[in-house]
Structure 1
Amino acid sequence: MPLVEFTALLVLATAMSFTPGPNTTLSTALAANRGLPAAMRFVVAVPVGWSALLLLCAAGLGAIVVAVPALRWAIKAVGIGYLLWLALKLAQSGRLSEADAARLSVGFWQGVALQFVNIKAWLLALTIVAGWIVGHEDGHARMAVVLPVMLAFAFTSNLAYAAMGALLRRWLAQGRRLLWFNRAMACVLVATALWMVAA
């Protein structure tokens, strides 16, 4: 892969991975509410699920989704519904004890599945497949470069957001700070869901 293309990939990966979205918002909220160890299942699930999505898009699933509007709408609808449900759970959790009692929990397999209804994940996977993989004779070699880079970015960005949430945990435990933090994170999820409706 030429250096110019690799640099463009790194710029795209940075912009898409480190800007707020469903994954980074949940990583932050899970760590703030339940601690970094509890959030790590989700942090690890994101790159695993997204890698599976990227490989399936490269194998042709992306072309099917693009070609079948009903399938695109179904993915969007499930994604929007799930984000709104998570936002509701998050907005109702105002004490660490409530979060620890599993009012706010997203496990490994839920994190993997979330990638398949996350419109931001689909956009990134389809963009990478179209721009860096499909139509190139060395497509398999390119995938061997792209996949580990994207895995690293997905893991690092979610770990960074989770670490930030964990650092805020003790401060958020005082008074009603956690409730307002959770409501702010819920608003980010709702805004993401609204963006998905408009996209």
Structure 2
Amino acid sequence: MTLSLMTSMALFAFAASFSPGPVNLVSVSNGARYGLGKGLSFITGATLGFILLFFVIGFGLHHVLAALPLLTQVLQWLGIAFLLYLSYQLFSDNGELSDNSEAKAPNFITGALMQWLNPKAWLASLSGIAVYIPQAHTDQLLIFAGLYLPICWLSLAAWLWAGIVLRHYLQSPARMRMLNKTLALLLAASCILILL
């Protein structure tokens, strides 16, 4: 595999990971609401969940999805339903800041599950594999995933950090509710854009 192909893969991974999407928006909210510890757990789960999805698609699921387009639609609707549920949870949050709130903080499992139900993650995996490694040989898939993993994690960490920085400006519950409602509406809007 050439250096130029690997550079192109890395740029694709960065564009797909850093561009606004459901997981990025939840990362901002998580950082602002719960801080670094819970935020790192969420973004690590989201990154590893994405890499697992990437491998599953790379090792043959993309052929199944191409043969069964209805399955793709079902997965998309399940993903959108989950994202709308998360949007509702975020919209109805009371805005109380707490480092000890365990009950509602999106965690490692939420992050991983969110990627499997995130249409953006499916599209990034399917299109990346189709464009860069259509034959998806194991060594190619390992290289691409090896590039994607740190890029995805660092991209989500940047969004998490943005939330942590915002936390200092959002000490009142009213301001936090405003941020949460804004992010919830953006998350719901991202679902609408997926459908267009």
TM-score by length of 1: 0.90
Q: Deviations over 1:111-164 (max 9, x none)?
A: 11211111111111112221222337xx22222321111001110011111111
Gap regions ≥5 residues in structure 2: none
CA–CA separation in structure 2 for the residues paired with 1:35 and 1:185: 16
Counterpart of 2:177, as a letter, is L
Classify the secondary structure of the residue corresponding to 2:143: helix
Given the superposition, is the C-alpha separation of residues 69 and 179 from structure 1 closer, same or farther in structure 2, using an over 3 Å criterion? same
CA–CA separation in structure 1 for the residues paired with 2:170 and 2:103: 17
Gap regions ≥5 residues in structure 1: none
Range 167-176 or range 21-30, more displaced: 167-176
Counterpart of 1:18, as a letter, is F
RMSD of Structure 2 on Structure 1 (CA): 1.9
CA–CA separation in structure 2 for the residues paired with 1:98 and 1:89: 17
1:193 pairs, out of 181, 188, 191, with 191
Q: What corresponds to 2:149 in structure 1?
A: 151
Answering whether residue 122 of structure 2 is matched by residue 122 of structure 1, we say: yes
Q: Is the 8 A contact 1:22 1:83 kept in 2?
A: yes
Shift of 1:169: 1.0
TM-score by length of 2: 0.91
Q: What corresponds to 1:183 in structure 2?
A: 181
Counterpart of 1:8, as a letter, is S
Classify the secondary structure of the residue corresponding to 2:179: helix
Answering whether residue 14 of structure 2 is matched by residue 14 of structure 1, we say: yes
Q: What corresponds to 1:53 in structure 2?
A: 53
Q: How many residues align?
A: 196
Shift of 1:21: 0.4
CA–CA separation in structure 1 for the residues paired with 2:66 and 2:103: 36
Q: What corresponds to 1:3 in structure 2?
A: 3
Q: Is the 8 A contact 1:28 1:163 kept in 2?
A: yes
Range 127-136 or range 68-77, more displaced: 127-136
Classify the secondary structure of the residue corresponding to 1:172: coil
Classify the secondary structure of the residue corresponding to 1:60: helix
